[in-house]
Each structure stands twice: as structure tokens, then as C-alpha cells.
Amino acid sequence: MMTNMQKVAAVLVVLPLLAVTTFAYAQMDYFAAKQTFSEEELGLRKETLYDEQGTAPSHGEITALEPGESTRIERAFENSPPLIPHDITGMLPLAQTENICLDCHMPEEAVSQGAIPIPKSHFVDLGTGKDLEGKLDGDRFNCMQCHVIQTRISVPVANLFKGEFRDKEGKYRSNLIDILNEGVEAD
């Protein structure tokens, strides 16, 4: 049995809780009744959702700087594929046999072109670990599958992602092939 003191204490706890809950429900009802959103307010694009007229996609502005004139772009995260900082007009499509990117980026050409040499990882069959001795892996000829051109565009939702770099060199250089097996014990 509860003593009188315990009964008073229980009422003191329960009553304010009841009051708060009732108030919260009343508030929710109030907003549900008052706050309705028009179609134009629902999406990020602030246009009706049933008509594409005013919402042509924006492709942004692509650099016109030629290879050799552009400035390299900081990597998004350690060993991410670097963005292409220069114009690529007229360079596409890429094929295994005809691939203008190789003219400047193959390691033996890159030095004279002032370009960044294709890294060792692209000359290894990553499936088997076989060193292809200077021959580009067949999976790598389509550079644009992984490397994309930088575009200037304003985005409706800011990207707050911040890449981690264990070594600040990694902001402009990759070392994937050297660290790929980190933490893996060989037999």
C-alpha cells in the first residue's frame, strides 16, 4: 500500500507529464491544420512537380584551359581518381586502340608533356595481381569511366564531405598500388 506521502509524490510527477503531453499534441494538431505545402514548395527545384518546363538540367560550365595550362585539382579523398582539370574537347570517344589520353599520360610520354604519368596500379591486373610490364590493363582504357572533368556549377544542397588524408602528399598523388594490401597477411 502507498503511504499518503507516496500518493502526493506520484500525483506531483504524473500531473506535469500529462500537461506537457497534452500541450505537445495540441501543438502538432495546430501545425497539421495550419501548415500545408504547395507543390512548388515541396521539392528543391521550387517548381511544380508535374511539369519540366522551367527545370532544364544545368550542366554547369566546363573549363576551356588546354592541357598544360590548367591547374591540378585536390583529390576528394585518399586515392580517389583525380578530376581532369583540362579541356577534353575533341578527345572523345576513347577506344582501346585509339586513345589520345595515352599520348600524353603514358609514363614514357608524360615527362616531356608535363603531364601526370598513369600510375602503376593501371599496369597491373588487379584481379590476379599480375604485373603487365608496362602494358595498360584492358579495364583501364576508358579513362572517363573513373576520371571526370571538373565542372563549375552551383549546387542546391551543399556537400559537406571532407576527405581524410593520412599523408598530405596524397592530396595530389596516389599510392594505391603500394597500400592496396595494407592489413592483409600473405601466407
Distance CA 85, CA 63 (A): 7
Is the torsion defined by CA of 117, 118, 119, 125 positive or negative?
negative
Cβ distance to ligand HEC smaller for residue 53 or 112: 112
Residue 63 CB, nearest distance to ligand HEC (Å)? 9
Q: Identify whether the C-beta of residue 100 lies closer than 8 Å to the C-beta of residue 91.
A: yes
Cβ distance to ligand HEC smaller for residue 54 or 183: 183
Q: Which residues, other chains included, contact 105 with Cβ-Cβ below 8 Å and sequence gap of 6+?
A: 113, 115, 116, 117, 118
Cβ distance to ligand HEC smaller for residue 25 or 172: 172
Residues that bind ligand HEC (CB under 6 A): 67-70, 72, 79, 81-82, 84-86, 88, 91, 100-105, 113-116, 118-119, 121-122, 140-143, 145-147, 173-174, 176
Residue 108 CB, nearest distance to ligand HEC (Å)? 13
Place of cell 599520348: 103
Residue 155 CB, nearest distance to ligand HEC (Å)? 22
